[in-house]
Each structure stands twice: as structure tokens, then as C-alpha cells.
Chain A
Amino acid sequence: MARSTFVYVTYIRTTPEKLWSALTEPEFMKEYWFGMHGESQWTAGSPWKLVASDGKVAGDGEIVESDPPKRLVFRWQDRTKPEMEAEGPSLCTMELVPEPTVVKLSITHTIECESSKLIVAVGGGWPKVLANLKTFLETGTAAIARPAPR
């Protein structure tokens, strides 16, 4: 079956536990995900939703696999645009692999649909979110949310 996949990898100087918290705790998420945050119990089978800063649900689904602080898989149904909603749910896999001084975070986002609009849309967002997450965990401040330097 035709599918669209994006893969993102970043290496962050942190611990798997801190990274897991940053990926699952709403207060952390808002810092680097442009005000958005996820809400879930983060256990297999529990519902998941992505909430924008204005309170609107941008996406929802359920947790497929959860193995803290190593692996999180969830189904992601877009709720922002009818044409993306029509594509059905996508699958997002987050893998955390500790290396001597860093943690490798891989995000694989897949949808069973050729040239998916959702994948292109999230494809523009993931690099910014991940670069922000890295800066946030390594320095305590998100790069893009930071005021302009003098």
C-alpha cells in the first residue's frame, strides 16, 4: 500500500527520563511546541489529543504503545483541515536511544496515503519543534520563543 513517511532525528544532551517528560508533560510541551500541548495518560490504549493555545483540538487519537522512557507510538488524526482529516489517522513513533553523552530522538510519522497533505504539513513543523526542543532541554529556553537578542 502506498504510504507517506517522514523521519526526523535529533541528538540532545539530556537524559531519556528528562526527554520523556519534555515529550509528555503539557507545561514542558508548551515551551517548545509553539504553545501546543498533548493531553493523555500516555499508556497503551488511552486517548491522546493535541491542544492548541486557543484550546482547539488540533489532532487526536490513541496511544498504541508506551514504554517510558524508550518508545511511544500513537495514532494521530488531524482535526485542523477537512482535506487532512479525510486522509485518516497517521501513526507517530517516538524512539529515545541513550548514547554516551546524548539521547538520540527519532520521530517517524507515517500515513497510509500517497503524497499526504498532513505529512507535508507536519513535515514543516517537526524540524522547528525538534530544534526548539533541543535548545529548550540544553539551555532551558526555546530558541524561537526567545526574544530578539540586541
Chain B
Amino acid sequence: MTQPHHDSDLLFKALADSSRRKLLDLLHAYDGRTLNELCEHLDMSRQGVTQHLDLLVAANLVATVRRGREKLHFLNPVPLQEIYGRWISKFEKPRLKALDQLKQKLEDNHG
């Protein structure tokens, strides 16, 4: 696959599917699994699981490591951290600051 690993469209697309989210949850519970181990938990063909994994790898949500003949899959949470920085903490901080100021103002008035 090509390498648009830093494309956030790919990242959100990869997350917009319940089977792929299940694969991420499976890897979160126990990391470093082979394709066969992952297939056991999903009610779909081996080829279907491979396609989902390819999309997760393209989005950089899954990293693979070769160990001998085996290919192990690891959850890579770095892009999720980037989403958090871009979409959550950025919007959360001003509100937390506003709440903090409100608290200080109200408490000052009473004190």
C-alpha cells in the first residue's frame, strides 16, 4: 500500500467501522497477535480480516513486526493521541480555563 499514513481522512475512515474498532479493542486487550489469533475472534473470512488490518496499518493505527515467519500486530495509539491533541484538548482547554475563572470569581465574591 502507498504511504499516506499522515492523512487524517484515512484515520477517521479506519475508525468508522465496528469490525475495525473491534480489532483495535482486541489488540488493546492483548498486543502482538498474529492474523490467525485475530481471526478467531471475528465472524468473517480470513481475507476480510486481512483487508481490515491493511486499512488499520495504512492509517498507522496498527504496526506490524516480523518475528521469524510470523507477523505480529500491535496497536499503535500515537494517531489517537494526535486526534486527542487536535480535536479534544484544544477545545477543552479554554472551557476548563473559563470554568476555573468562574469558580475563582464566584469564590472571591463570597470571600
Which residues of A come within 8 Å of B, CB atoms?
A: 5-11, 13, 99-100, 102, 104, 106, 108, 126-128, 130-131, 134-135, 143-144, 148-150
Query: Could you say which residues of chain B place their CB within 8 Å of the CB of A11?
Result: 3, 5-6, 60
Query: Could you say which residues of chain B place their CB within 8 Å of the CB of A102?
Result: 3, 5-6
B61's nearest neighbour on chain A, judged by CB, is A9
**How many whole Å from B59's CB to the nearest CB in chain A?**
11
Instruction: For A5, give its contact among B3, B74, B89 (CB under 8 Å).
Output: B74
Which residues of B come within 8 Å of A, CB atoms?
A: 3, 5-6, 31-32, 60, 63, 65, 74, 76-78, 80-82, 84-85, 89-90, 93-94, 96-97
Instruction: For B76, give its contact among A8, A100, A128 (CB under 8 Å).
Output: A8
* With A5-B74, A9-B76 as contacts: A131 and B63 at CB distance below 8 Å: no
* Residue pair B90, A149 in contact (C-beta under 8 Å): yes
* Residue pair B60, A148 in contact (C-beta under 8 Å): no
**How many whole Å from B20's CB to the nearest CB in chain A?**
17
B93's nearest neighbour on chain A, judged by CB, is A148
Q: Identify the 10 closest CB pairs spanning chains A and B, nearest first.
A: A148-B93, A7-B74, A127-B81, A131-B81, A9-B63, A7-B63, A127-B77, A143-B85, A11-B5, A10-B78
Q: Complex Cα distance A126/B82, Å?
A: 12
Q: Complex Cα distance A104/B77, Å?
A: 15
Q: Complex Cα distance A130/B65, Å?
A: 19
* Residue pair B80, A10 in contact (C-beta under 8 Å): no
| 29 CB-based A-B contacts, threshold 8 Å | A5-B32, A5-B74, A6-B31, A6-B74, A7-B74, A7-B76, A8-B76, A9-B60, A9-B76, A11-B5, A11-B6, A11-B60, A100-B3, A102-B6, A104-B5, A106-B63, A108-B65, A126-B78, A130-B81, A131-B78, A131-B81, A131-B84, A131-B85, A134-B78, A135-B85, A143-B85, A148-B93, A149-B90, A149-B94
